[in-house]
Structure 1
């Protein structure tokens, strides 16, 4: 009976949440209908409508929080709902009107979601007995409870559909997609809202007696209290682990304070991740009174400040080398926020942590409002740096780019990086002297600038990684014919350092042979064996080639940059039993990882 009652209470909570946030539910229903239509039509051509409805969902939820905290009349509630609708329409016609996927719009929309989420948590705590720490904890618990229930519900639906499909009749795959849509678009958000406490509202303050207010506040304190399991997790696992990592990080910083430390590619993500962890743990620990939590609140804000300053300085130094991208803009902006947060945590009582939320929302808003937003500033920075680099190398005359292959490699890297960034953000069409080369930039880069772009599989390189990297491909236009008349077999081989290579069986004169790779003395070797059966213990190696040494040999002897002639790409190895010739079509060496594609010619003597 208790289980039935709990289920009834939860369904009642979902119904009450729907009444409490009616406009939010309307937006959620519209989103579910739109998603159902997109699933049926098998299209994703309406991202602007999806984004706009999501913004409406967040805005309407915040509008309800504002109403409950500051207003009493239904007319005021209707005006706030109307305001949320107007702002949603404004979003559609300003940020969200593009028909296709747009990275800038997506990031700006994500920042808007983030701002509204923080506002949703912060608004009920304004001039209230309930603190931001408690409201954050309530949202934290609601989120993970929602995730758990959502996973269980979807798993149950999935098993039911699987059983029907296997035992009764075939179920169209779209049914599963529609189930996911209903769970994520309707159930999960409404379920989350049902866990949002009814904080002390303006109506409560004017209509409840002091005794009733005290009773409601007591109930609220119970609703936003820390579960015992979470208290133990934070106090005795998360805080000690954070402390150990902090000690390791401080030792690393002190040992490597000079040299390339400031431009180490790993530094930014490590310090940013650390800072986020400390801030989140601090806010959660603000609701706990164990000894470890109290010590954490006293010490870690002061430790956070110098570490964040390290991160910010490192990011600023990187700007001088690569210019400002939107990613680095946000890294620096976060560094500024974390520094302010560390100071506020150090000087203000914990019940005033809401000011940190205010700072975070203001800085986030600044990052998406022109002309000081991340994208405008990064576009100007990258454009100016590219222009100055071209001018320094006499590659820009008026609005025309002059190809020049004789410039320093560092400048080639910079040009490759900046052009790649401007293309990826669709900014090249807005630059007067770059727009005429629009199509050529992606497909005929060398024709425009006089050299091949310098890059690896993850994108363009920086000056620190270029010394440890190499990329080149076979110039098939210069060497379109490869003779195979001297060989018995030709194989097309792809070698990737991080993956298992398949064994290839070949037959020559009715004899079986196997070609495979194997690690020998810490290096990968290409092996030709005289037996095709893997399980045969009589397998004997006829020939072995050190692939990594061979790739390094080609990289060190090639005279052309990024392009290999047939002679440069060919490596021949032979003994009394066989001859193997490798003709590389591409070589990629980066950060001690070796990847290659090549033709392998085999001649059995």
Structure 2
């Protein structure tokens, strides 16, 4: 009986969430519809519309939170909903001119989503008896409960579909995608919203009294979570803090100021401390109380030192959007440490306001991360070229006789500008700068990275030496195909190349699957013959490049070749060049195909 009642309450909660957030529901349905089209039409990219509807769903949820907290009239609710629609349309207008959903648009969208989530958490705590920490706890619990239920339902539905497919009748493979689309695009967000209680605001006093018990339950810290935070997470954080402090003190005059590997560790540490502080704010045991008193004060000097170190690197390496966000987050972490250390708990909501303001600054020109980084890298490249007499009357003059440091600076800045698609905006830089020796023809020297083959910003380049290997052996292969892989595609199918062998039609597809990249060969019945893991092959070739450890080392054919075969087909790739930067791969390949 209790189980039936619980299930009934959950279903009623879902219905209430739909009634409470109608505009959000419409945006979610629109997003699900876009996903249907993406599943049915792999060749088409609907990313702009998908993210537009996601932004719209978040804006409308924030609008509803604002209405419940500060307003009562229906007309005010419609005005807020109208504002959400206008802002959503503004987002679509801002991104519609871009040909692809590139790194800049993607990052700005991620930041906007993060800011809206913070607003969703913060609004119920503004001038309220509920603190920001309590609102955060409510969302934290709702998120993980939703994840658990969604995973269980996904596994169950997948098992049902698999049973039908194997035991009763064949299902189209796209059926799995359509079912998961409903679960993740509609059920999961609505289920999450169903956990959001009615916080106190300008509403019916009777309903407020009824909801008080639900609010208290929603913001309460579960006993198990309290134990996990107090006796496991806090002690581990303390040990990590001691190690970091020891490193900072021992290297304050040396590697600390130039160690790029420490930067992400300290950012992760700051995020951990802030998150644990918020979650531990309502726990009243010795570990939690000591953590709240000590760790925010320890956080301030550690983050301050790292922020200064990041700023000092600007002079040598310029600003990238990554470093911009590291510095901005460092400033935020210092402010958060001060708020946690010297302000009462009820003022912790200030960190949400700071985060929202910083997020807006980082995505709105002219002081956003990408405008600043673009200008910084262009200015660094221009000044380096002018110092070496390589930029005259708006044209680049090749010069082989410059320092290794300046070669690395030129390579690094050009790599960044190319990876961000800024080359077209620079009149004195040729298009496709890394294609077919254009770099050497332009600057007079090959791309120059650190001795390990990896640039200071994590960039890597592998190049085939055509002078050493002017001919390729195509014996035992049926066809050779030229393929260019651009990792900006992300998800779905990129290049599709028809290949005819012995009067049979085959297709070579470049498929982006989440974080993976594949070359897939299918026959005329769309049956997969072989799947080649391109990302794995790229990493292997880049490792071969690293082993050369030379300033201008280039690869032989053997070093640039990776092969995979099965009982149906064989594929070999020969990499003309591979460029890795900011977790993305761009590569020019020759693909050799043999049908068995």
Using the size of structure 2 for normalisation, the TM-score is 0.78
* Segment of structure 1 superposing worse, 450-459 or 232-241: 450-459
Partner of residue 288 from structure 2, selected from 290, 293, 300 = 293
Distance in 1 (CA, whole Å) between partners of 2:313 and 2:105 is: 26
Q: Which residue of 1 aligns with 2:5?
A: 5
Q: Does 1:75 align with 2:80?
A: no
Q: Answer yes or no: is the 8 Å Cα contact 1:474–1:563 preserved in 2.
A: yes
Give how far 1:267 is off.
Answer: 1.1
The aligned runs of 1:81-230 (5 Å cut-off) are: 81-204=81-204, 207-208=205-206, 216-230=211-225
Instruction: Give the 3-state SS of the residue equivalent to 2:427 in structure 1.
Output: coil
Distance 1:587 1:373, change over 3 A: closer
Instruction: Give the 3-state SS of the residue equivalent to 1:202 in structure 2.
Output: coil
Distance 1:281 1:47, change over 3 A: same
Distance in 2 (CA, whole Å) between partners of 1:565 and 1:251 is: 45
Distance 1:97 1:134, change over 3 A: farther
Give how far 1:95 is off.
Answer: 3.5
Distance in 1 (CA, whole Å) between partners of 2:120 and 2:453 is: 38
Give how far 1:96 is off.
Answer: 4.9
Distance 1:457 1:47, change over 3 A: farther
Q: Answer yes or no: is the 8 Å Cα contact 1:142–1:195 preserved in 2.
A: yes
Q: Answer yes or no: is the 8 Å Cα contact 1:48–1:97 preserved in 2.
A: no
Q: Which residue of 2 aligns with 1:561?
A: 552
Distance in 1 (CA, whole Å) between partners of 2:314 and 2:54 is: 34
Distance in 1 (CA, whole Å) between partners of 2:390 and 2:400 is: 10
Distance in 1 (CA, whole Å) between partners of 2:53 and 2:451 is: 37
Q: Does 1:362 align with 2:357?
A: yes
Q: Does 1:448 align with 2:442?
A: yes
Give how far 1:457 is off.
Answer: 12
Q: Which residue of 1 aligns with 2:30?
A: 30
Q: Which residue of 1 aligns with 2:539?
A: none
Q: Answer yes or no: is the 8 Å Cα contact 1:441–1:448 preserved in 2.
A: no
Distance 1:251 1:343, change over 3 A: same
Q: Answer yes or no: is the 8 Å Cα contact 2:408–2:450 preserved in 1.
A: no
Deviations 1:117-163 (A, max 9, x none): 00000011111101100000000000000000000000000100111
Give how far 1:260 is off.
Answer: 2.6
The aligned runs of 1:276-355 (5 Å cut-off) are: 276-355=271-350
Give how far 1:425 is off.
Answer: 1.0
Distance in 2 (CA, whole Å) between partners of 1:565 and 1:6 is: 66
Distance in 2 (CA, whole Å) between partners of 1:320 and 1:404 is: 23
Give how far 1:225 is off.
Answer: 0.5
Give how far 1:254 is off.
Answer: 1.2
Give how far 1:439 is off.
Answer: 2.6
Instruction: Give the 3-state SS of the residue equivalent to 1:199 in structure 2.
Output: coil
Using the size of structure 1 for normalisation, the TM-score is 0.77
Partner of residue 438 from structure 1, selected from 428, 431, 441 = 431
The aligned runs of 1:346-495 (5 Å cut-off) are: 346-434=341-429, 437-443=430-436, 444-455=438-449, 460-462=454-456, 475-478=465-468, 480=470
Give how far 1:57 is off.
Answer: 0.4
Distance in 2 (CA, whole Å) between partners of 1:330 and 1:478 is: 43
Instruction: Give the 3-state SS of the residue equivalent to 2:363 in structure 1.
Output: coil
Q: Does 1:64 align with 2:58?
A: no
Give how far 1:218 is off.
Answer: 4.6
Instruction: Give the 3-state SS of the residue equivalent to 2:299 in structure 1.
Output: helix
Distance in 2 (CA, whole Å) between partners of 1:118 and 1:218 is: 24
Give how far 1:264 is off.
Answer: 0.9
Instruction: Give the 3-state SS of the residue equivalent to 1:156 in structure 2.
Output: helix
Distance in 1 (CA, whole Å) between partners of 2:123 and 2:297 is: 28
Distance in 2 (CA, whole Å) between partners of 1:265 and 1:122 is: 34
Q: Answer yes or no: is the 8 Å Cα contact 1:158–1:176 preserved in 2.
A: yes
Structure 2: 5+ residue stretches without partners: 474-543, 561-574, 579-596
Distance in 2 (CA, whole Å) between partners of 1:474 and 1:48 is: 36
Distance in 2 (CA, whole Å) between partners of 1:410 and 1:153 is: 56
Distance in 2 (CA, whole Å) between partners of 1:113 and 1:122 is: 14
Q: Answer yes or no: is the 8 Å Cα contact 1:96–1:105 preserved in 2.
A: no
Distance 1:349 1:472, change over 3 A: closer
Q: Which residue of 1 aligns with 2:52?
A: 52
Give how far 1:4 is off.
Answer: 1.4
Give how far 1:412 is off.
Answer: 0.8
Give how far 1:438 is off.
Answer: 1.2
Give how far 1:233 is off.
Answer: 0.6
Distance in 1 (CA, whole Å) between partners of 2:412 and 2:33 is: 42
Distance in 1 (CA, whole Å) between partners of 2:334 and 2:115 is: 19
Distance 1:396 1:55, change over 3 A: same
Give how far 1:174 is off.
Answer: 0.2
Deviations 1:455-508 (A, max 9, x none): 489985139x99xx9x8866333554799xxxxxxxxxxxxxxxxxxxxxxxxx
Q: Answer yes or no: is the 8 Å Cα contact 1:52–1:96 preserved in 2.
A: no
Distance in 1 (CA, whole Å) between partners of 2:428 and 2:351 is: 44
Distance in 2 (CA, whole Å) between partners of 1:89 and 1:440 is: 36
Distance 1:75 1:375, change over 3 A: same
Distance 1:143 1:203, change over 3 A: same
Q: Answer yes or no: is the 8 Å Cα contact 1:47–1:99 preserved in 2.
A: no
Distance in 2 (CA, whole Å) between partners of 1:423 and 1:472 is: 16
Distance in 2 (CA, whole Å) between partners of 1:564 and 1:64 is: 59
Distance in 2 (CA, whole Å) between partners of 1:26 and 1:555 is: 56
Give how far 1:10 is off.
Answer: 0.5
Deviations 1:263-289 (A, max 9, x none): 112110010000000000000111211
Distance in 2 (CA, whole Å) between partners of 1:160 and 1:565 is: 51
Structure 1: 5+ residue stretches without partners: 484-550, 570-584, 589-605
Instruction: Give the 3-state SS of the residue equivalent to 1:48 in structure 2.
Output: helix
Q: Answer yes or no: is the 8 Å Cα contact 1:472–1:561 preserved in 2.
A: no
Deviations 1:512-562 (A, max 9, x none): xxxxxxxxxxxxxxxxxxxxxxxxxxxxxxxxxxxxxxx99x958x8x822
* Segment of structure 1 superposing worse, 330-339 or 439-448: 439-448
Distance in 2 (CA, whole Å) between partners of 1:36 and 1:563 is: 45
Look at both structures and tell me which one has the larger radius of gyration over its CA atoms.
1
Give how far 1:44 is off.
Answer: 4.0
Distance in 2 (CA, whole Å) between partners of 1:26 and 1:457 is: 54
Distance 1:457 1:67, change over 3 A: farther
Q: Which residue of 2 aligns with 1:236?
A: 231
Q: Which residue of 2 aligns with 1:517?
A: none
Distance in 2 (CA, whole Å) between partners of 1:31 and 1:587 is: 38
Deviations 1:43-99 (A, max 9, x none): 342221111111100000000000000110111111111111111111111135534
